[in-house]
Amino acid sequence: MRPRAEWSSPARWRQVLLPFLMSLFCGALPDQIRYSIPEELAKNSVVGNLAKDLGLSVRDLPARKLRVSAEKEYFTVNPESGDLLVSDRIDREQICGKKSLCILDFDTVAENPLNIFHVAVLVQDINDNTPVFKHNKIDLKIGESTKPGKTFPLDPALDSDAGPNSLQRYHLNDNEHFDLSEKQTPNGHKYPELILKHFLDREKQSFHQLVLTAVDGGDPPQSGTTQIQIQVTDANDNPPVFIQDIYKVSLQEGVPRGFSVLRVTATDQDEGVNAEITYSFHNVDELVEQFFNLDKTTGEITTKDYFDFETANSYTLSVEAKDPGDLAAHCSIQVEILDENDCAPEVMMTSIFTPLPEDSPPGTVVALIKTRDRDSGENGEVYCSILGKADFILNSYSKNYYKLVTDGPLDREEIPEYNISVMATDRGKPPLSSSISITLHIADVNDNAPVFQQASYVVHVAENNPPAASIAQVSASDPDLGPNGRVSYSIVASDLEPRALASYVSVSAQSGVVFAQRAFDHEQLRAFELTLQARDQGSPALSANVSLRVLVGDRNDNAPRVLYPALGPDGSALFDTVPRAAQPGYLVTKVVAVDADSGHNAWLSYHVLQASEPGLFSLGLRTGEVRTARALGDRDAARQRLLVAVRDGGQPPLSATATLLLVFADSLQEALPDVSERQAPADPQAELQFYLVVALALISVLFLLAVILAVALRLRRSSSSTTWGCFQTNVCSKTESGVISSYSEGTLPYSYNLCAASHSSKTDFKFLNIKPENVPPQDLLCNEASWFESTSIVDSQMTSNSVSLQQQAPPNTDWRFSQAQRPGTSGSQNGDETGTWPNNQFDTEMLQAMILASASEAADGSSTLGGGAGTMGLSARYGPQFTLQHVPDYRQNVYIPGSNATLTNAAGKRDGKAPAGGNGSKKKSGKKEKK
């Protein structure tokens, strides 16, 4: 393809030569895109439409990024049209020198997909250089005795053009003595030789001047001239003679300067001065004089500079030997330069694709690498490898190209950046190598879900915390970058109700801090669990869940609550009777209290704050049991008052107080006056008389009521003999019960009715065997004027004419509790004063249920609640046997939260021995009776 019309019509001989050269060129490079252009084309001249010749569409050129890949870019590609343009000055003589074919071989690269095309451009020579002689004047001395036919070689003219445009012929101006012939050196260079046609006669003409012209083959031809001045000398008829006409020498390109190449020798048969020979270079170019030095006297040739095989691989030296008569001889020396592995391979990166996504599949092209070695043979054969262990491999691709591709999956979080060193090594001996470093950045993708620092979280929060306070913080990390690693937090599940969740806790989406939205109450909510989610901002988003368990810790915010002794509805205190003959250690009663808190805050201790007789009673520190410390003395008052404080183990501790009224008496009748005297005025004798009258009146009324009821029941028995019931009269007006009926307030859930017997000398009270499920609770105490409301149950075994009340069995004298069964609020198992730290928290409803169960058991006929004479058969709550097996033990069958133990009730006996006289009774202290 010829881009300009003026180069399409060369001379006829060029039309014959060019197709021949092109056929050779086409046969040598069958896989290349080939163009032919003349040298010295103007910049941006069109060489050809490369895109069309490559089969590429013009529309695809911007995406394919077609470009030239060459060491020196003489050409460029028009990105719009695909034309191959000249981008720099192309001087054939500078590029190829004397080569017959000047071919610019380069590669073009197209991306998306990656393709490499080989392009060869044949640079045609134009006649832009004129033949030039080295010297403008040539001086020759020829002896007059020189025979005709003698030749004198002359310096050739130099023409940088090649082919037909190079130097073609010489011609000499017309003269009678000399003629001109052309000779050719082994390397193809033409040089002229002057031929003597006739003998010279110095005496006739001693000086001759000729004009030598060199003409090239251009159209039009160009020429250059030089002057030849010939001086005819005296006869010296024996010229020097070299031993051989041609010398051949081989040199390694790495020989040092001053290395002796060869010594040439010429001989002359003349004698004397005419036999003295001098040596000089003859008809050589500048490169020879640059690399070689010739000793004029000895003819020794040495090196002047280092050889480079890649620049020139051979040199031809022409040496002339002259005697003083200017007779000369010539010889040719051919120096061959042997290649050494002195050029390291070059590695060039033509394309790199960075950053590379971390999810790129194996085999993804990372970079395109090109290698080159200026050496020849094995010294120029190059192979590439990757230094170190990497996740990449090199694949050979199209001649001296390599593709760097991934060998496995990439992970930016593990290796965010790769520094890949690629080494190119030739096969010389020793081998040379060079390397380049490629920095490859890995682009992030969202391939990592957030990861919490802990598998699960447990946080302890004390109750009564301030609202909006931070209670915990969860943290999750995501090794991804940017939005892929930005984590937000949320609550996705909870064991709380969805509507109540927002009122309990919230979480900060940015920091993962969990806030309490309200104050927690350990008694209402002890623990709850949340499921928190950490989600990144990638697309698609990835998430992870973690559980957060919140344990609400207890604070000492509940004071102890005294269940026994309890005050009556009217605020009056109950009393307990103690036998006068009670021995030291006798169990009098027990203070029962509970605390809604848990743990150490519910560990109760009992302390005496005030006592009528400080040394008379002892109080169990942990059990709350009141025992006699010594026997009752003559000087001790029959009425004793204890003020007991119940403290919990919190910091600071909270407390409650209970008042115990204790009366030393062997019977209830004996205890009543003592109780009544608690409110006695300043005149005790008058007060005593008042109560005696009231008591006698009460006994009389009760006796009459009993007789009337017995008669009425006897009459009713004829019609119905299934059940007996107590009967009431309205003689006694009903007041507040001595035993509080509302067992939700912590009192025993049952009461008893009394029936009076008619004896004039002594009033005895007897209990019927009453079952609480059949008898409604009745008041044990009447208004301030009466003590008991009579109620009885008709016995199915009674006779028709009399009312026989069932006698209560004598009390069991061995009713003491064992050390393992002493009642306690916190499960003190050892019965000592220190106890063990409780691990349970009492619930009021559970206590009431247990009290009700104990009351049912107390009402059973097999129980020992019934006393002997004078005991009036009062319940366990009112008698000194309060702590017997009928007393509700708060450890019985109680499940302790947080413990595997279940407290069970076991039969046992009390410590202390009851006196033979009988049992005490408990009564409610009433107001002063009025006559």
Of 632, 563, 576, nearest to 823 by C-alpha is 563
Q: How far is CA 505 from the centre of its chain?
A: 27
pLDDT of residue 632: 87
**Mean per-residue pLDDT, 348-354:** 89
Mean pLDDT over the full length of the chain: 75
Q: What are residue 249's phi and psi, to 5 degrees?
A: -135, 140
Encode pLDDT of 871-888 as tens digits. 333 333 333 333 333 333
Percent of the chain's residues with pLDDT above 70: 71
Write down the pLDDT at residue 560.
94
What one-character DSSP code corresponds to residue 793?
Answer: B
- Residue 923, pLDDT > 80, answer no
Cβ proximity of 141 and 233 under 8 Å: yes
Higher pLDDT, 532 or 98: 532
Q: What is the pLDDT of residues 701-754, one digit of tens each?
A: 999 999 999 999 988 875 554 443 433 433 333 333 333 333 333 333 333 333
Provide the 8-state DSSP code for 818.
P
pLDDT for the residue numbered 674: 57
354-389 in b/e form (b: 16+ CB < 10 A) is eebebbbeeebbbbbbbbebbbeeebbebbbebeee
Listed residue (584, 631, 629) closest to 611, CA to CA: 629
- pLDDT-derived band at 400 (thresholds 50, 70, 90) equals confident
Q: Is a pLDDT exceeding 60 seen at residue 907? A: no
Which tens digit of pLDDT belongs to each residue from 35-52?
999 988 999 999 999 888
Residue pair 216/238 in contact (Cβ under 8 Å)? The answer is: no
Residue-wise pLDDT tens digits, 243-288: 889 999 999 888 999 999 999 999 988 777 878 899 999 888 888 8
pLDDT at 845 over 80: no
In terms of Cβ atoms closer than 10 Å to its own Cβ (0-12, 13-18, 19+), residue 150 is: middle
∠830-832-838 over CA atoms, to 5°? 65
Q: Considering just the CA atoms, what is the radius of gyration of the chain in Å?
A: 67
pLDDT higher than threshold 60 for residue 773: no
Q: Dihedral of CA 9/14/15/18: which sign?
A: negative
Structure confidence at residue 931 as a pLDDT band (50, 70, 90): very low
pTM: 0.47
- pLDDT value of position 250: 92
Looking from the CA of 825 toward its CB, the CA atoms found within 13 Å total 31
- Helix ranges (DSSP H) in 794-883: 844-858
CB-count burial class (<10 Å; 0-12, 13-18, 19+) for 80:
exposed
Give the pLDDT score at 327: 85
**Confidence class of residue 825 from pLDDT cuts 50, 70 and 90?**
very low
What mean pLDDT do residues 350-372 have?
91
Residue 676 is predicted with a pLDDT of 54
Query: What pLDDT was estimated at residue 570?
Result: 66
What confidence tens digit (pLDDT) does each residue in 170-217 have? 999 989 899 999 888 877 778 899 999 988 887 788 889 999 999 988
Residue 486: C-alpha distances to residues 237, 238, 410 (Å): 105, 103, 21
Task: Provide CB contacts within 8 A for 909, sequence distance 6+.
Answer: 814, 815, 816, 817, 818
Residue 225 confidence (pLDDT)? 92
Q: What is the pLDDT of residue 288?
A: 86
500 against 906, higher pLDDT: 500
Q: What is the pLDDT of residue 456?
A: 94
